[in-house]
Amino acid sequence: MNRLVIVANRVPNPGERGATAGGLAVALKDALAKREALWFGWSGQIAEATAADPVETRIGRITYATLDLGREDHRRYYLGFSNGSLWPTLHYRLGLAVFAREDHAGYRAVNAAFAAALAPMLRPDDTIWAHDFHLFPVGAALRALGCRQRIGFFLHVPFPPAGLFCALPRAAELLTDLAAYDVIGVQTEDDAVNLRAALAGVGQEEAAARVHAFPIGIEAEAFTTLAEKAIGKRETERFRQSLVDRALIIGVDRLDYTKGLPQRFCGYGQLLARFKTHRSKVTYLQVAPVSRGDVAQYRALRRELDEWVGRINGQHAEPDWAPLRYMTRAVARPVLAGFMRMARVGLVTPLRDGMNLVAKEYVAAQDPEDPGVLVLSRFAGAVAQLPGALLVNPLDPDEIAEALDQALTMKPAERKARWEECIVSVRRDGARAWCREFLSRLEGANDA
Ligand code: ADP
């Protein structure tokens, strides 16, 4: 079998395995186990200048090839254009997007540097798969260097309506870059419709025909096992005892403005204010590890959330009850799986999300005999696979409060029926299926 080349902003640390590995590494595990592979990208390290030659580490049949990024390149490509311009725009938040020509130039320069370092390592029959918004131009940069291999691209985040995307300066150039790919994957049919329209708008009808939706999933069985094993362990039981029989609501997100956390906290406050029977009977644990702490908007969000937590606990707490527990540290995955299994409600209300794997993890973690209820934003890509969830508009705190009340008072038979509607596709549309379907589309592409 020919070699698979993965190109991504971050390359997993070769030492990372199983539960500690990043989401993409888990999703690709099967594909990488079956064939020789090269994983190329940023090392995560910052140096004086961007390295020209990758550092290679070989583990089994996988070669990891990484480049350190220069300080300026990191600032412009990663913090500036990727996180400051593209991330908010792709999540429909044009008002938060900043644009600077030097950032845009840095983004293109790093993509060109990636292509220049990767091209000499390629074999004529490699299959190349580039990932996410950091790397829109890498395929075109490889083509410019004469690469004729099959190259696919997958966008893990949403793609907004064309008019919104095209308000970003130089958007047309990014769309033209996409035409270099043989297959362009997105998470949902809505994203596919938006991206095709955007491509058609810049005269790339042929590229538009190569856009397909491939919803990403989780390794459901492995996550269920993690959750089952966590029950009875010391950390899980200590937490259970601290709840003294109160129903648990759980939220798990990176601390990001796309996740709708202020509105969610406000919604929980509304629950306590409007549905008084839940007072002293419920505990909401929000785990939100700080991410991108070096970007200004993320620091501002953190302050805003600190205020919300103080306000809600200050207003509603009793001497023996704090309604909201909030942690900005990461929690180990096995512990988190156990907490999810204990929670009567999984609260997942992003304002916009490419997929949202936490929603699927919550479903996979449940006890089939006594499952909890998922309260889910209608703007998460995962909606299509989770028909049993209670859907909310994440911008409407009253709707969140009403859904929480409905979930907390739901009879066991309805909880079970709703969970069964969700678990079927969480199991079926797993990470492996996602990978297999993308690659079979890509590898069939040039043979057609
Ligand atoms: P995003 O990719 O935007 O962070 P997803 O929900 O798609 O959102 O994926 C997040 C992944 O990170 C999930 O696998 C989730 O379990 C994990 N994760 C999120 N928050 C935490 C946390 N506080 N501790 C440990 N893992 C977390």
- Tell whether the model's pLDDT for residue 16 goes beyond 70: no
- In angstroms and rounded to an integer, the radius of gyration of the C-alpha atoms of the chain is 22
Residues 6 or more apart in contact with residue 238 via CB below 8 angstroms? none
Residue of 187, 253, 292, 379 to mutate, ligand 1, most atoms within 8 A of C-beta: 253
- For 52, the token pair is 């020209």
ipTM field: 0.95
Give the chain's largest Cα–Cα span: 69
Distance CA 379, CA 141 (A): 33
Q: Which residue has the tokens 């030492």?
A: 15
**pLDDT number for residue 106:** 98
8 Å CB contact between 13 and 21: no
Mean of pLDDT over the chain: 95
Pair type for strands 62-70 and 55-59:
antiparallel
8 Å CB contact between 330 and 289: yes
- From the list 24, 291, 2, the residue with the least C-alpha distance to 135 is 24
Please report which confidence band the pLDDT of residue 145 belongs to, taking 50, 70 and 90 as the band edges: very high
8 Å CB contact between 91 and 350: no
Backbone angles phi, psi at 41, to 5 degrees: 165, -160
**pLDDT number for residue 251:** 98
Residues 6 or more apart in contact with residue 45 via CB below 8 angstroms? 68, 69
Residue of 131, 358, 362 to mutate, ligand 1, most atoms within 8 A of C-beta: 358
Q: Ligand 1 site: residues with CB under 6 angstroms?
A: 23, 252-254, 287, 289, 330-331, 333, 336, 355-358, 361
Q: Which atom of ligand 1 approaches the CA of 331 most closely? A: 24
* HEC assignment per residue over 321-333: ECCEEEECCCCCH
C-alpha 318 – ligand 1 centre gap (Å): 31
Set out the domains of the chain in order of their start, with CATH numbers. 4-216+431-443 (3.40.50.2000), 220-427 (3.40.50.2000)
8 Å CB contact between 300 and 344: no
- The length of the chain in residues reads 448
Verify whether residue 396 is a known catalytic residue.
Answer: no
**How many alpha carbons fall within 13 Å on the CB side of residue 422?**
30
Pair type for strands 324-327 and 282-287:
parallel
Over residues 98-125, the pLDDT tens digits come to 999 999 999 999 999 999 999 999 999 9
Average pLDDT value for residue range 71-91 = 97
**pLDDT number for residue 28:** 87
- For 190, the token pair is 């809505």
- Tell whether the model's pLDDT for residue 440 goes beyond 90: yes
Average pLDDT value for residue range 42-52 = 95
- From the list 75, 88, 77, 57, the residue with the least C-alpha distance to 298 is 88
C-alpha 288 – ligand 1 centre gap (Å): 9
Average pLDDT value for residue range 154-175 = 98
Tell me how far CA of residue 175 lies from CA of 67, 198, 235, 292, 407, in angstroms: 26, 7, 48, 26, 42
Tell me how far CA of residue 334 lies from CA of 164, 237, 299, 338, 361, in angstroms: 39, 13, 28, 6, 11
Over residues 298-352, the pLDDT tens digits come to 999 999 999 999 999 999 999 999 999 999 998 999 999 999 999 999 999 999 9
**pLDDT number for residue 291:** 86
Distance CA 46, CA 44 (A): 7
C-alpha 258 – ligand 1 centre gap (Å): 13
**pLDDT number for residue 381:** 98
Residues 6 or more apart in contact with residue 314 via CB below 8 angstroms? none
Verify whether residue 353 is a known catalytic residue.
Answer: yes
Over residues 265-306, the pLDDT tens digits come to 999 999 999 999 999 999 999 999 998 888 888 999 999 999
- From the list 23, 88, 74, the residue with the least C-alpha distance to 46 is 74
Q: Which atom of ligand 1 approaches the CA of 259 most closely? A: 3
- Tell whether the model's pLDDT for residue 20 goes beyond 70: no
For CA atoms 158, 162, 164, 169, give the dihedral sign.
positive
Q: How many helices (H) and strands (E) does the chain have?
A: 18, 14
C-alpha 149 – ligand 1 centre gap (Å): 33
Backbone angles phi, psi at 97, to 5 degrees: -75, 140
**Which one is catalytic: 103, 132, 190, 353?**
353
Strand-pair partners of 11: none
**pLDDT number for residue 18:** 44
**pLDDT number for residue 15:** 66
Q: How many CB atoms are located within 10 Å of the residue 351 CB? A: 21
Tell me how far CA of residue 240 lies from CA of 142, 235, 280, 323, in angstroms: 53, 9, 16, 15
